[in-house]
Structures are given as structure tokens and as C-alpha cells.
């Protein structure tokens, strides 16, 4: 009887650990490296009123948009993607979530050759 009651609690704990692993990684400020298509949110995606870099990454069969924070790194790369339709790039930085969007603070951006 104790085993029967223990199983749902164990299943819930595993589910919680898996679903919160992304939040925990974001809280620690751990840098990740993602590769995808870098595009302009204004000129290519028509989602914002001002230019902003977005890294589009294929994950689990769908496109995930990572909106890059405006800093010196992202501004320095913007001319390469604005109005050109984008460029394949590898971005290193920290990821967080805000208002249901993935936000990335880039520390390095390199074009993929």
C-alpha cells in the first residue's frame, strides 16, 4: 500500500525537476551556445517597432525565437543581418524568459561559414 502512494509523489517530483531545469539554468547565469538563423525583428519578422537581433533556433521540430538584448555585441552584428534576410550564426550568452519570450544576452556572436 505504501508503494502505491509513493509512486504518484515520485512521478510529480520527476515532472517538477524536468520542467524547472530550464528556470534553474537561467537563474544561475550559465552561458549557453546556440546556433541558428540571426534575423532582424523589425525588418525581417515585422514584430517590433525598432531593429533588434533575433536568433531563430530549431528545437523539437519548431522554431524558437531568442530575442537578443541590445548591447555592444548584438549591435555590432546587426548590420550583417538587417534587411538581408538573416545570416546563420552561433551566439553565446545567458538565456532568460520575459513575457513568454526567450531573451538572450549575447557575450559573443560568430557567423557560421
Q: What is the DSSP string of 47-92?
A: --SS--EEEEEEETTEEEEEEEP-SHHHHHHHTTTTTTT-EEEEEE
With b for 16 or more beta-carbon neighbours within 10 A and e for fewer, the 55-70 pattern comes to: bbbeeeeeeebbbbee
- The whole-number pLDDT of residue 4 equals 54
Give the pairing of strands 32-40 and 87-98: antiparallel
- The whole-number pLDDT of residue 6 equals 55
Question: What is d(CA 109, CA 86) in angstroms, rounded to the nearest whole number?
Answer: 13
CA distances from 50 to 8, 25, 70 (A): 49, 29, 11
The verdict on pTM exceeding 0.85 is: no
| Choice between 48 and 27, residue whose per-residue pLDDT is larger | 48
Q: Is the pLDDT of residue 7 over 80?
A: no
pLDDT digits (tens, 9 = 90+) for 73-107: 999 999 999 888 899 999 999 999 999 999 999 99
Mean pLDDT for all residues in the chain: 82
Amino acid at each position: 500500500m505504501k508503494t502505491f502512494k509513493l509512486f504518484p509523489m515520485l512521478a510529480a517530483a520527476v515532472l517538477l525537476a524536468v520542467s524547472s531545469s530550464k528556470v534553474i539554468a537561467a537563474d544561475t547565469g550559465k552561458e549557453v551556445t546556440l546556433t541558428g538563423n540571426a534575423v532582424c525583428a523589425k525588418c525581417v519578422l515585422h514584430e517590433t517597432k525598432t531593429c533588434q537581433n533575433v536568433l531563430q533556433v530549431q528545437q523539437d521540430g519548431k522554431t524558437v525565437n531568442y530575442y537578443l538584448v541590445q548591447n555592444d555585441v548584438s549591435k555590432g552584428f546587426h548590420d550583417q543581418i538587417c534587411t538581408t534576410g538573416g545570416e546563420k550564426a552561433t551566439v553565446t550568452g545567458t538565456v532568460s524568459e520575459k513575457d513568454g519570450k526567450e531573451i538572450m544576452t549575447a557575450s559573443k556572436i560568430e557567423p557560421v561559414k
